[in-house]
Amino acid sequence: MVVMLSSPHAHGGDSVRMMMLTVVLALMPATLVSVYLFGWLALLLILTCMLSCLLTEAICLKLMGKSLSTLLDNSAALTGLLLALTLPALTPWWMAVVGSVFAIVLGKQVYGGLGYNIFNPALSARVILLISFPLQMTTWIAPMSINMPPLNLYDFSTCLTLFFTGVDGLKLSLDAISMASPLGHVKTEWTLGIPVAEALNHYQYSYLDAFLGKETGSIGETSVLALLLGGIFLLARHSITWHIPFSYLATVAVMAAIFSAIHPDHFAPPMFHLFAGGLILCAFFMATDPVSSPVTPIGQIVFGIGCGILTWSIRSFGGYPEGAMFSVLLMNCAVPLIDHYCRPRVYGHESGRKR
Amino acid sequence: MPAMLRNLAQRLGMMAHSFDGGIHPQQHKVSASLHSEACPLASLYTLPMKMHIGSPCSPIVAVGERVLRGQKIAKSEGYLSVPVHAPTSGRILRIEKAAIPHPSGMGIPSIVIEADGDDNEEQILEPINDWHNTDPALLRERVRMCGLAGLGGAVFPTFIKLVQDSRFAIETVILNGIECEPWLTNDHRLMLEYADDILSGLAIMMHMVKTASAIIAIEENKADAALVMREALAARDDMAEVRVVVLPTRYPQGSEKQLIYSLTGREVSAGKLPIHIGVLCLNVGTTRAVYQAVVKAKALTERMVTISGDAIAQPGNLRVRIGTPMRYLFGLRGLENFTGVRILHGGPMMGELLRHPDVPVVKSTNGMLAMREASFMGAHTQEQACIRCGHCSEACPSSLVPNLLVDQCRSDQFEKAEAYNLFDCIECGACSYVCPSNIPLVHYFRYGKGQIAQQRREKVFAEASRERSEYRDQRKERDKQALAAKRKSVRKTHAPKVEVVKENGPTTATDVVNNDKLNKGNIE
Nearest CA in chain A to B352: A7
- Residue B501 clears pLDDT 60, i.e. is over it: no
Alpha-carbon span B452 to B412, nearest angstrom: 10
Alpha-carbon span A186 to A210, nearest angstrom: 15
Alpha-carbon span A329 to A125, nearest angstrom: 11
Interface-testing mutation among B264, B268, B272, B421, with chain A (most A C-beta atoms within 10 A): B421
Residue-level pLDDT at A193: 85
Residue-level pLDDT at A154: 83
Q: What pLDDT digit, counting tens, does each position of A296-336 carry?
A: 999 999 999 999 999 999 999 988 889 999 999 999 999 99
- Residue A168 clears pLDDT 90, i.e. is over it: no
Residue-level pLDDT at B520: 42
Region B319-329: mean pLDDT is 96
User: Crossing angle of helices A28-63/A75-85, nearest 10°?
Assistant: 130
- Residue B524 clears pLDDT 50, i.e. is over it: no
Region B68-82: mean pLDDT is 92
Contacts of residue A253, Cβ cutoff 8 Å, sequence gap at least 6: A270, A273, A274
Residue-level pLDDT at A1: 39
Q: What pLDDT digit, counting tens, does each position of A77-104 carry?
A: 999 999 999 999 989 999 999 999 999 9
| A95-134 residues touching B, CB cutoff 8 A | 112-116
Pairing between strand B172-177 and B279-283?
Answer: parallel
Residue-level pLDDT at B494: 63
Residue type, A295: V
Residue-level pLDDT at A172: 74
Spell out where B290-331 has E strands. 302-308, 316-321
Contacts of residue B347, Cβ cutoff 8 Å, sequence gap at least 6: B181, B182, B183, B184, B366, B367, B369
Q: How many C-beta atoms lie closer than 10 Å to residue A315's C-beta?
A: 28
Chains A and B: how many Cβ contacts under 8 Å?
156
Cross-chain residue pair A6–B442, CB shorter than 8 Å: yes
Q: N- to C-terminal Cα distance for chain B?
A: 63
Longest Cα separation, chain A? 78
Q: What pLDDT digit, counting tens, does each position of B35-53 carry?
A: 999 999 999 999 999 999 9
Q: Is A351 on the interface with B (CB under 8 A)?
A: no
| B230-289 residues touching A, CB cutoff 8 A | 257-258, 261, 267-272
Of B348, B391, B400, the CB nearest to A9: B348
Reported as a pLDDT band with limits 50, 70 and 90, residue B2 is low
Q: Has the ipTM of the complex gone over 0.95?
A: no
pTM: 0.87
Region A189-205: mean pLDDT is 87
Percent above pLDDT 90 for chain B = 78
Q: How many C-beta atoms lie closer than 10 Å to residue B241's C-beta?
A: 12
Three-state SS at A95: helix
Q: What pLDDT digit, counting tens, does each position of A119-153 carry?
A: 999 999 999 999 999 988 988 888 876 556 667 78
Cross-chain residue pair B26–A10, CB shorter than 8 Å: yes
Alpha carbon of A15: minimum distance to chain B alpha carbons (Å): 4
- Residue B157 clears pLDDT 60, i.e. is over it: yes
- Residue A6 clears pLDDT 50, i.e. is over it: yes
Q: What pLDDT digit, counting tens, does each position of B335-367 carry?
A: 999 999 999 999 999 999 999 999 999 999 999
Alpha carbon of A18: minimum distance to chain B alpha carbons (Å): 9
Domain ranges of chain A: 16-179, 183-216+240-343
Residue-level pLDDT at A171: 74
Nearest CA in chain B to A354: B419
Region B85-96: mean pLDDT is 95
Region B271-293: mean pLDDT is 93
Three-state SS at B278: coil
Residues of B in contact with A16 (CB under 8 A): 384, 387, 436-437
Residue-level pLDDT at B12: 63
Residue-level pLDDT at A265: 87
Q: What pLDDT digit, counting tens, does each position of A219-262 carry?
A: 999 999 999 999 999 999 989 999 999 999 999 999 999 999 99
Residues of B in contact with A293 (CB under 8 A): 388
Q: Is B523 on the interface with A (CB under 8 A)?
A: no
Q: What pLDDT digit, counting tens, does each position of B395-424 carry?
A: 999 999 999 999 999 999 999 999 999 999
Of A115, A297, A352, the CB nearest to B387: A115
- Residue B498 clears pLDDT 70, i.e. is over it: no
Judge if the upstream peptide bond of residue B252 is cis by omega within 30 degrees of 0.
yes
Q: Is B419 on the interface with A (CB under 8 A)?
A: yes
Longest Cα separation, chain B? 104
CA A354-B3-B6 angle, to 5 degrees, is 120
Residues of B in contact with A74 (CB under 8 A): none
Region B390-394: mean pLDDT is 93
Residue type, A70: T
- Residue B514 clears pLDDT 50, i.e. is over it: no
Residue-level pLDDT at B506: 45
Region A280-303: mean pLDDT is 95
Contacts of residue B90, Cβ cutoff 8 Å, sequence gap at least 6: B45, B66, B67, B113, B114, B115, B116
